[in-house]
A and B are shown apart, each in its own frame.
Chain A
Amino acid sequence: MAKPKVAFFDFTCCEGCQLTVLSLGDKLLDLFESVEVVNFREASSYKGQDYDIAFVEGSIASSKDIERIKEIRKRAKVLVALGACAHTAGVNAIRNFHNQQEIRKMVYGDKAWVFDSILAQPIDAIVRVDYYIPECPIDKEEFLRFVSQLLNNMKPFLPDYPVCVECKMKGNVCNYHKPNPIICLGPVTRGGCGAICPSAGNACEGCRGLIPDANLEAMEWLLNEYGVSAEDKFRFYRMYNGLMGMKK
């Protein structure tokens, strides 16, 4: 079997997900053994336009992006949204909730007219996405497992259980039970990260997106129970999930 050709593309993002792939170490060599990488800006200047699998990082944030992602979709047999920006529009979507004129001025100053920025959108707002690898940035192990399973003609495994499952497996003291409780989105956020943030004493901010049947009414009850203000709730959800419920 010929090696599948793989390309990486970045849209509006920090490119941290591609850097995560680059930092796979020995496993990166195994990856290059299994697939032919034809386009990977962080690793090589070669730009092949013939590929089977496109890993797309970043949000759609300009009208040029829209044309470009459509072109990638046409060429790719399989399109994978890589990381939170591609999956949920991630932190880029925070700006959607502000006055666009003011935001553009704040970012670009008097050169704002040069940039055709639009509201930030996830990749699947524009084109069909076959698979998602969530998280900000992506998890190395999950990426490798994803590639192995895709090469093995499988529908890659993406847990539908929340972060709490792995947090409990790790034996963490629940964020809500600490002497100074930490407001945490673990109960409604998709697991698979190994509860990396709660394990390090931080809140889960929801970077892997919501689980398919997240009980947001229960979350509302919980946040009220801990006296979280309406403003803080919005801020919290908007960190990564501002566009939840706005997807097709």
Chain B
Amino acid sequence: MDQAESRRGGRLEKYLVAKTSFLKLVDEQIKEGKEVVAPVRQENQANFRRIKSTAEILWGGPQTVVSAKSFVFPPKEELLNYETNDEVRVQPRVEAKPLILLGVHSCDINGMALLDKVFTEKNLDENYVKKRENLTVIGVECLEPCSPESFCYRKDSVLPWDGFDLFLTDLGKNFFVEVGSAKGESFLSGLGKKATQADVDRVKKIRRERDAKFDEKQRKLKPKLSDLPVLLKENYNSPVWAERGARCFGCGSCNMVCPTCYCFDVRDCVELDLKHGIRARWWDGCMLTDFTRIATGEIFREDRGARLRHRTYRKDYYLFEKWGKSFCTGCGRCGKACLTKVVDPLDIANEIYERSRSR
């Protein structure tokens, strides 16, 4: 949280709130008709769902099947609708309604913090920004590794460095609550009491222990995190890409589940009268064949290995270099979704590192 504090240029307000009161507060909000979404059990995994009661929440479960990005950047989103009679009438569409996202893990909070950068850079994307403004993000600290695939500790993403309104740490009977925004402060509506130095110290100790546990249990990243851009840059022609590409379906699953993949396709849908229609965007993925195909049929990144390299480079080289943060938060979703085990960014980095050392 030091990063989040320094980013905001000051200490975050910290409270100690009894869990029962906090959950009661959320349940009251639900009763008032507020929309609350949280991770719940889905078969043998977890996913975000709208909840009717905080009793449904799956605390400390595995990463959700789809990341929290779908609430700010949905799989399909209408951008405008139109009517073409004698006059052309074009109506932009920006859909956003208040939503409380509760129980978000740090990997997803940081994912949204990264999306904030790209969608507000230069040409501001109102469709994203309006949804984001309507979102209240209440994160929860992971005290156990959520899955064998995740490696958030290796990606400096075990705590959020931006992008949350409240962040909860489980202290047994109480939540240790860190406030990330005025919206978070007002959500709390005066609940609990200011955290004492003893509380803060207790959390520090928990975090030290957690770090040790994560360091032991999560898969190792052999190169230094900050070296990834250079490592990748130097291994553009590594055989790793072709070898892994040969077993890649090009199915785009890794793009879909990723908290920071934000590429999209835009298509029109017209009614049978040919006068009314919508223009919408859909999630797209750089791993899909037609991602770079133009009208003449030419495909600019046809080889699966080259596409795998491009995806990896975006996460840990291009965008890392541009924004000073890796665009992989170590959530482990892509590694899990990839049925032929080729896409995991940590595996790739390690393999390239080992092979470049043995050269």
Contacts and interface: CB of A to CB of B under 8 A. Distances in A.
A176 B199 CA distance: 44
Contacts of A187: 249, 251, 253, 339
A213 B250 contact: yes
Interface string A155-176: 0010011101100110111101
B188 interface: no
B251 to A, nearest CB: 4
Interface string B229-255: 000000000000000001111111100
B272 A160 contact: no
Nearest to B267: A157
Interface in A40-99: none
Interface in A137-186: 144-145, 147-149, 151-152, 157, 160-162, 164-165, 168-169, 171-174, 176-179, 186
Given A144-B272, A168-B337, A169-B283, A161 B65 contact: no
A147 B288 contact: no
A33 interface: yes
Interface stretch (B37-45, B92-100, B106-114, B311-319): B37-45
Interface stretch (A11-19, A112-120, A123-131, A217-225): A217-225
A22 B272 CA distance: 16
- SS class, residues of chain A in contact with chain B: helix
B285 interface: yes
Contact of A221 (B45, B247, B285): B247
A165 B288 contact: yes
B66 interface: yes
A178 B42 CA distance: 10
Given A162-B252, A168-B66, A217 B269 contact: no
Given A160-B290, A169-B256, A177-B44, A215 B274 contact: no
Given A178-B44, A215-B304, A161 B271 contact: no
B272 A161 contact: no
Given A162-B249, A162-B252, A165-B251, A34 B272 contact: yes
Interface string B262-302: 00000101111110000000110100111000000000000
A64 B337 CA distance: 48
A217 B304 CA distance: 13
A31 interface: yes
Interface string B15-44: 000000000000000000000000000111
Contacts of B336: 177
B8 interface: no
Interface residues of B, number: 40
Contacts of A174: 253, 337, 339
Contacts, number: 114
A144 B109 CA distance: 39
A105 interface: no
Contacts of A188: 249
A218 B247 contact: yes
Interface in B66-108: 66, 70, 75-76
B340 A221 contact: yes
A164 B256 CA distance: 9
B253 A147 contact: no
A36 B335 CA distance: 51
A212 interface: yes
A215 B42 contact: no
A148 B248 contact: no
Contact of B249 (A160, A212, A218): A218
A233 interface: no
A27 interface: yes
Given A30-B273, A168-B257, 16 more contacts: A34-B274, A145-B269, A151-B274, A160-B288, A161-B285, A162-B251, A165-B256, A168-B65, A173-B43, A174-B253, A176-B339, A177-B44, A178-B43, A179-B44, A211-B289, A215-B249
Interface of B: 42-45, 47-48, 64-66, 70, 75-76, 246-253, 256-257, 267, 269-274, 282-283, 285, 288-290, 304, 336-337, 339-340
16 contacts: A144-B272, A148-B269, A152-B270, A161-B251, A161-B289, A165-B253, A169-B283, A171-B42, A178-B44, A212-B289, A213-B250, A217-B246, A218-B247, A221-B247, A221-B340, A222-B339
